[in-house]
Amino acid sequence: MPSSPNQKMKLLYLMKILLERTDENHTLTLADLISALAEYGIKAERKSLYSDMDLLRTFGLNIEMQKSKTVGYYIDARDFELPELKLLVDAVQSSRFITARKSNELIKKLSALASIHQAKELKRQVVMAERPKPLNEGIYYNIDAIHAAINGRRKIIFKYFDYSVDKKRVYRKNGDVYCQTPAALCWNDDKYYLICYNAKYLSSFQHYAKYDDKYYLICYNAKYDDFTNYRVDRMSNVVVCEESADKIDKKRFNVAEHTKRMFGMYSGELVSAKLRFDNSLVNTVQDKFGSALLLRPCGEQFEISVEVSNSPVFLSWMFQFGDKAKIVSPEILRSSMVALLDRSTQQYTT
């Protein structure tokens, strides 16, 4: 007769003990394993532990033996090595789109993939300058819903908001919902963006959708066959629609090309530009536009030809380099830079 209700789960508890308490620097002897099992009310003998560990090896657990004055057993290879877990923890802790609470929850789950001894090394304080965490706790579930809609080829409905000075949400469109065809999720500049497809319709149409236990009338009258970008951390209560997604021209849509052109995910007219930089900015320019970009030497400078967005984001990026960067053409982009500089100058002279 089993000595306790847990006796039948001896093999499972043995696996739990090995995974939680051992690694290549921390082993357990047979006597240690017997004592650990006793904590769960499970009796074990040395001979039975040999066969139990053989079964766990057959199951796929990498149990190794280390000989010294005594013989110790430990889990060697795991799904994630300790350096990989450290990298993931650093990424989660420093990420701007994951809230502080969710960061802590994720790190705790990642720590469970290591031994309790290794987990202590994962409690690290990553110092990232100016890395504020978002206030939107729903971002996790929004991303999950968006992926479900993309995979299921459905539309989504959601509310979109900005933050006021007192950190309260101010919903756009007076709180009305958006209905969009999600095309892709993009992680850019440590922020998550949703790229949506705006189909061009011959005429407007309308349908009803249930949202937040209320029914909203959603009217469509899309003017352009184009894409729109939304910050995921500013989307509220994303819901997958029953309505099928609009068909996207995959030949025309390329996520990497789109994000590169939008340059910081701000809308603006795309223009073919010729830009000139000081040679000291080669690394910076390649980081921004890609290493495959053709660089044309011009003495102590070099030129590139690239499509950019005629927007304050791009112009500000150029301005930060002072006299080491110049817009050569087109004239419309040069004029935009002059206008931006004039407005900035007036800020400090009036």
Q: What is the pTM of this model?
A: 0.60
**Type and span of the H or E element at 85:** helix 82-94
If one compares 2 and 302, the residue with the highest pLDDT of the two is 302
Closest CA to 227 of 252, 205, 209: 252
Q: Assign domain 266-349 to its CATH architecture.
A: 2-Layer Sandwich (3.30)
For residue 320, pLDDT over 70 is answered with yes
- State how far the Cα of 336 lies from the Cα of 311, in Å rounded to an integer: 8
pLDDT digits (tens, 9 = 90+) for 132-188: 555 566 777 888 888 899 899 999 999 999 988 777 889 998 888 888 888 888 776
CATH fold match for the domains 7-75 and 266-349 = no
Is pLDDT larger for residue 1 or for residue 124? Answer: 124
Q: Where are the domains of the chain?
A: 7-75, 82-121, 139-244, 266-349
Residue 48 has pLDDT above 80, yes or no: yes
Model pLDDT, residue 323: 94
Percent of the chain with pLDDT over 70: 81
Range with the poorest average pLDDT among 202-211, 253-262, 266-275: 202-211
Q: Mean pLDDT score of the chain, rounded to an integer?
A: 83
Instruction: Please provide the size of the chain in residues.
Output: 350
Predicted confidence (pLDDT) at residue 52 exceeds the cutoff of 80? yes
221 pLDDT band, cuts 50/70/90, is very low
Q: What is the pLDDT of residues 226-237, one digit of tens each?
A: 778 888 888 888
103, two tokens: 């960061």
Check residue 265 and give its pLDDT.
47
| Rounded CA separation 304/275 (Å) | 5
pLDDT for the residue 72: 95
- Mean pLDDT to the nearest integer, 194-208: 62
> What is the predicted pLDDT for the residue at 137?
64
Residue 330, preceding peptide bond in cis (omega within 30° of 0) = yes
Q: Label residue 285 exposed, middle or buried (CB < 10 Å: 0-12, 13-18, 19+).
A: buried
CATH code of 7-75, in short, is: 1.10.10.10
According to the model, what pLDDT value does residue 349 have? 85
Compute the distance between CA of residue 228 and CA of residue 77 in angstroms, rounded to an integer.
45
